[in-house]
């Protein structure tokens, strides 16, 4: 599949496998299946507690490292300059990699600008190829863009047809930053998949409603990371490149936007509680 060009010249696949909430054993199997069935992009995070499983699957896949695009995220407990180097060391060790394609600050909490500047130094060293942000909006996002030396290539946020982030997408396009969608199927909301427009398009294109929704993400110019541990679903989720929506069909989907979020953690709570959540990532199996 054709990759999306990032603002640093790298190319990222438009769709990858997300591993949020997947425990180590099924995660390893899911990632191995994905890497041997057309996927190049794998997304994990420190807090997911499955980086070691992802690393084992990468090694078992036999894939060339340069073919893959591996993403992880650093949790706010490590958002200090003195901790970032060790955090990167540990992430690379758990993944079994010499470098990571994209390393993301997971939440706008703690000393995130101090952490961001430390990641810029990791880019200089070549151990991190690109920096991204997760769940940054408004003032926090603008602060990063105003103070950074190396611009983030990507912002990953909740995005789906009920919450399309239209204004944010326009702003990111102006900044040359890619929007990546998590909860791309609306946290599995059955009402979303049963919308009349998705049922009609599924019938027209001989796809499932879920495939229709994922195609909307890709055709909208998003990068999307649906999570699954079921081989048939993993295979279906990437089977999106043999059809295209018309402009009218894209407009019909655009009309579903309700500015809805399923993840509604207040900003003050993110700042207060996220740095307090501490896990021993080295206890991963």
The catalytic residue positions are 48
Overall size of the chain counted in residues: 285
Interatomic CA distance for residues 55 and 60, integer angstroms: 9
CB 91 within 8 A of CB 125: no
- Residue partners of 150: CB distance under 8 A and separation at least 6: 8, 120, 123, 131
Cα dist from 52 to 23, 35, 55, 62, 246, whole Å: 11, 16, 5, 16, 42
Q: If we measure between CA atoms, which residue out of 155, 127, 151 comes closest to residue 70?
A: 127
The two three-digit tokens of residue 9, written as one number:
């010249």
Find tokens 């900044």 and name the residue.
175
CB 276 within 8 A of CB 111: no
Interatomic CA distance for residues 25 and 73, integer angstroms: 20
Find tokens 């081989």 and name the residue.
231
Cα 180 to chain center, whole Å? 6
Task: Identify the bridge partners of residue 229 per DSSP, sorted by sequence position.
Answer: none
DSSP class of residue 256 equals T
Tell the burial category of 189 from Cβ atoms under 10 Å away from its Cβ (0-12, 13-18, 19+).
Answer: middle
Alpha helices in 129-254, H assignment, sequence order: 138-147, 166-175, 190-193, 196-205, 209-219, 231-237, 247-254
């Amino acid at each position: 599949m054709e990759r999306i060009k990032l603002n640093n010249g790298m190319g990222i696949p438009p769709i990858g496998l997300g591993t949020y909430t997947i425990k180590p054993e099924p995660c390893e199997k899911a990632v191995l299946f994905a890497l041997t069935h057309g996927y190049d992009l794998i997304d994990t995070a420190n807090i997911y507690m499955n980086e070691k499983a992802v690393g084992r699957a990468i090694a078992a896949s036999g894939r060339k490292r340069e073919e893959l695009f591996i993403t992880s995220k650093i949790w706010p407990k490590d958002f200090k300059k003195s901790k970032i180097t060790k955090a990167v060391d540990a992430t690379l060790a758990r993944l079994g990699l010499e470098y990571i394609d994209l390393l993301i600050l997971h939440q706008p909490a703690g000393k995130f600008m101090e952490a961001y500047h430390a990641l810029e130094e990791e880019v200089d060293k070549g151990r991190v190829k690109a920096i991204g942000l997760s769940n940054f909006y408004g003032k926090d996002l603008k602060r990063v863009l105003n103070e950074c030396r190396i611009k983030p290539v990507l912002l990953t946020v909740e995005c789906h047809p009920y919450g399309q982030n239209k204004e944010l997408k326009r702003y990111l396009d102006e900044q040359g930053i890619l929007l990546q969608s998590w909860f791309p199927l609306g946290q599995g909301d059955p009402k979303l998949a049963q919308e009349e427009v998705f049922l009609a398009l599924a019938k027209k294109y001989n796809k499932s409603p879920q495939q229709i929704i994922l195609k909307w993400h890709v055709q909208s110019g998003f990068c999307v990371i649906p999570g699954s541990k079921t081989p048939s679903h993993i295979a279906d989720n990437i089977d999106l490149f043999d059809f295209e929506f018309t402009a009218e069909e894209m407009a019909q989907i655009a009309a579903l936007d309700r500015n809805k979020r399923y993840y509604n953690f207040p900003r003050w709570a993110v700042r207060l509680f996220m740095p307090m959540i501490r896990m021993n990532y080295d206890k991963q199996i």
